[in-house]
Chain A
Amino acid sequence: MNVAVVKTGGGRAVSDLFASAEGRLPGSPGVAAVRREAFETYERLGLPHRRIEEWKYTDLRALVGEVLPLAVSPDAAAMKRAAEAVKTHAIAGARKLVLVDGVFAADLSDVKALASEVSLMTLRETLDKDAGLLKTESTDAVIALNAAMATDGVVLSIADGAHLSAPIQVIHVATASSASSFSRSQLVVGKGVRATIVESFIAAGAKAYQVNDAVIVTVGDGADLAHIRLMDDAPDAVNVTSHFVTVGANVKLNFFNMTTGAAVSRLQGFIRLAGEGSELSANGVNLLQKTEHGDTTLVVDHAVPNCVSRETFRAVIDDRAHSVFQGRIIVRPDAQKTDGKMMTRALLLSDEAEADNKPELEIFADDVSCGHGATAGALDESLLFYLKARGLPEKQAQALLIQAFVGEAIEQIADDQLREHVIGIAERWLERRS
């Protein structure tokens, strides 16, 4: 990474990136010290590269090169663009919470319409008190960078027993070109809660920007949570997102990630099943074209006995795009009776497309049933022939088969409305293609 190093008053060297942003970063003096430490960690490690096993297939040094300077606050015109973009991407009936270039925008959000059981703060507000939310156990460089630079985020807490009738949609809008935004959010889901959270990443006229997001989720016992992430950033953007999820007992967690945008993207999810009797369904689809690089990395950690995890992942890769799926199921020594399955399939539509799969199992308990499967290949010629023989043009026949292919992952979304919404996104992607 080529960052200029400058000397600061304290005599310690910090790079331009941090030095130029530091004054604008929210938080008490204590928070500033935590940020500085995190940035030093990041500087020591630099951007992840292929020699770091977890980043083997997504070499950020080669793909991204450098981290762009922190975005400046959006002006009125930018906010107007953001409002327009939010309107087109809002899910009907959802309560919107909008972050513009990584900063919470109350004017564009439905703060008042939130259910009474939902309490909302911004990261900015919590950082006035302490730096707790900037801390994670991770040693990953991009997460350290996020802790150093996080400007804002939503801190949501859903009270025990709440059944939310409307989904909450957190929309990340980018308005600033050639700039970075860093957000960090928290979601605390109480016991027995039923809720749906959607996160959307969109652009409002911004080009060549970078997003580094982190989300910390805690799911209380007996909760039923649907968590959908729709990443549709600008085609020349970079999006690196990290999720840390801790799941309590008897939880049903239905997670889905859709990647349709960004030149370079990575979602790394670390899901820890920490309570018995929980069921995790973590799924995703990467729809990639041109020279896009999309990476979905999911680490599912069975820390206790009697949990079930299912992962279904599909990648459709066109042109010279590159899809990466890394899935790891860890079964800790005590996690007997674990039932974990992971299936990843890649569909290569072009001779220059690339699919890299690394489905891992790390098992320390003997009475478990775990498995994984991975396939890569082209569209089935005989199926195509069948459809063409019945009069469908080539592209349409392909589209039908691709739809069926990604459908296997999309149908895992439990919520009807959201499933339809995601199917719509896939259809529009296919239309763009033909």
Chain B
Amino acid sequence: MPAVQETVERVKRIDVDQYRYGFETLIDTEKAPKGLSEEIVKFISQKKNEPAWMLQWRLEAYRRWLTMTEPTWARVDYPKIDFQDLYYYAAPKPKKTVNSLDEIDPEILKTYEKLGIPLREVAMLEGVEPKVGEDDPSRRKIAVDAVFDSVSVATTFKAELKKAGVIFMPISEAIREHPELVQKYLGSVVPTSDNFYATLNSAVFSDGSFVYVPPGVRCPMELSTYFRINERNTGQFERTLIIADKGSYVSYLEGCTAPQRDENQLHAAVVELVALDDAEIKYSTVQNWYPGNSEGKGGIYNFVTKRGDCRGHHSKISWTQVETGSAITWKYPSCILRGDNSRGEFYSIAISNGFQQVDSGTKMIHLGKNTSSRIISKGIAAGKSQNTYRGLVTAHRKATGARNFTACDSLLIGDKCGAHTVPYIEAKNSSATFEHEATTSKISEDVLFYCVQRGLSQEEAVGLVVNGFVKDVLQQLPMEFAVEAQKLISISLEGSVG
């Protein structure tokens, strides 16, 4: 079935030429010399006042990176990246310690204002209406770490979080202030030798967020990081590390935008999540990097390694992503289900337009007993874009009772685009139960029947089933875009091609 008109219009509204975050902020910046070498790695480490062990770690990664080659297996096509033609460090001047918001360059503040990201500690976000009858407005508070090019410019609500025992700060600060935690967990989920881009990131990452939630603590507010690439020819390499200690809970949101430019820019981030016994991490992303113009010129190359480790028993990691930006997306947020009874979830909506190329999906690696995972992926391809879901579900020998449910649907709008599904399903244990489906009619027949029986149309019922669980996540997104994203996921499933 072709896409219904309503869907076509909604997608058009977020077409590449409608990119609203393409403005540039004119400020003085301090940059490292172009190119990559041991000197640059040392320069970055020095800029961050890092201890010797950190520099050593970076240098080892750099040396390893020199021996690696770029992966080419993804269904994306782009000219070879000249890694010596990039700036690996760019920071707004003046580079002195900022003690209060008033000391931040007003241009930067204005930038975040335009993006709808509150750097002042306001209780409410722009566009978020307080719920009727909500008596505790603090429940809606969101702490923001704003990363501008290579550095974090502000982190809000730090004091209030500290009271709860939650550490939320730029990773560059954490390396200095909490070396024991960073040393213990950094690279423990995504080792420095993991893959080409992760290794590059390990060598040159400049900032990112660090979160530690102590045992038994439910993080009192949403945490979020907002990434903004501003400088020309600059790669952004952020590193995020989130540790949820025993019995804790944290919800984290990430947003990204970049100015409109003709040349491509590289973004190679690494995100590591560690969930210990009974802990839960909810990680949400609204990725809206500049996708390039309608002729396919410019845009961000987004090569990201995101991985969560359910290290403890009964732990849970949930990834939610809304992907609308980037010229190229190469991203597979994964869960290693190591702890017994742990659970991994992946909810994704990837919308590609123009000449965008998306190769995204997830990996659910079942190692522990009675682990379960769930993958819901919806890809919408329009224009001349290519949209690929690539996913791995694997149960190892000892993963008795492993369970997975996967549903991935794609929708094509127009006949110049492509939608592809490449699932790998590997069962090495007879008690593993894996179900993979790519047809809407098969999503839990019982639930559908229940809804239809109560008067919903088949399509409404399917929409309800697929979208029900992502909705509450999307409602929390710290951007005006959330409203747009919400509309997108309610897109009619009519015309789904599986």
Q: Which of A's residues lie within 8 Å of B, judged by CB?
A: 53, 333, 336, 341, 346, 348-378
Contact = CB atoms under 8 A, between A and B. Distances in A.
A364 B381 CA distance: 10
B473 interface: no
Contacts of B420: 360-363
Given A358-B425, A374-B423, A368 B497 contact: yes
Contacts of B437: 371-374
Interface stretch (B150-158, B199-207, B209-217, B427-435): B427-435
Interface string B52-80: 00000000000000000000010000000
Contacts of A357: 423-426, 436
A253 B410 CA distance: 28
A370 B497 contact: yes
Contacts of B165: none
B418 A363 contact: yes
B498 interface: yes
A376 B414 CA distance: 35
B198 to A, nearest CB: 20
23 contacts: A346-B427, A348-B427, A348-B430, A350-B430, A351-B431, A352-B397, A355-B425, A357-B423, A357-B426, A361-B420, A361-B438, A362-B418, A362-B420, A364-B418, A365-B415, A366-B414, A366-B417, A368-B497, A371-B439, A372-B439, A374-B423, A374-B436, A374-B437
The residue among A336, A350, A373 with the most chain B CB atoms within 10 A of its own CB is A373
B423 A358 contact: yes
A362 B413 CA distance: 15
Given A333-B415, A359-B423, A378-B431, A369 B438 contact: no
Contact of A367 (B2, B421, B427, B439): B2
Given A356-B426, A366-B415, A372 B438 contact: yes
B438 A366 contact: no
Contact of B410 (A336, A363, A378): A363
B409 to A, nearest CB: 9
A292 to B, nearest CB: 16
Nearest to B390: A360
Given A371-B438, A371-B498, A376 B433 contact: yes
Interface residues of B, number: 38
A359 B415 contact: no
Nearest to B427: A376
The 9 closest A-B pairs by CB, nearest first: A371-B439, A371-B498, A348-B430, A376-B427, A366-B412, A374-B436, A357-B425, A361-B421, A377-B433
Contacts of A336: 415
A120 to B, nearest CB: 42
A370 B428 CA distance: 28
Contacts of A362: 418, 420
B419 interface: yes
B9 to A, nearest CB: 16
Nearest to A361: B421
Interface in B430-487: 430-439, 442
Contacts of B427: 346, 348, 354-356, 376-377
B436 A354 contact: no
Given A365-B415, A372-B438, A373-B437, A360 B421 contact: yes
Given A369-B497, A374-B436, A360 B422 contact: yes
Nearest to A341: B439
Contacts of A359: 421, 423, 425, 436, 438
Nearest to A375: B435
Nearest to A324: B426
A329 to B, nearest CB: 9
Given A361-B420, A363-B418, A366-B413, A373 B436 contact: yes
A406 to B, nearest CB: 17
The residue among B410, B415, B416, B429 with the most chain A CB atoms within 10 A of its own CB is B429
Given A361-B421, A367-B2, A373-B436, A354 B415 contact: no
B322 to A, nearest CB: 22
B163 to A, nearest CB: 48
B221 interface: no
Contact of A376 (B73, B422, B432): B432
Given A351-B430, A371-B438, A376-B432, 6 more contacts: A356-B426, A366-B3, A366-B412, A366-B414, A369-B498, A370-B438
Contact of A374 (B73, B416, B434): B434
B430 A353 contact: yes
A355 B414 CA distance: 37
A376 B434 contact: yes
B1 interface: yes
Contacts of B435: 373-375
A188 to B, nearest CB: 33
A370 B415 CA distance: 15
Contacts of A353: 430
B351 to A, nearest CB: 15
Nearest to A51: B73
A348 B397 CA distance: 12
Contacts of A372: 421, 436-439, 498
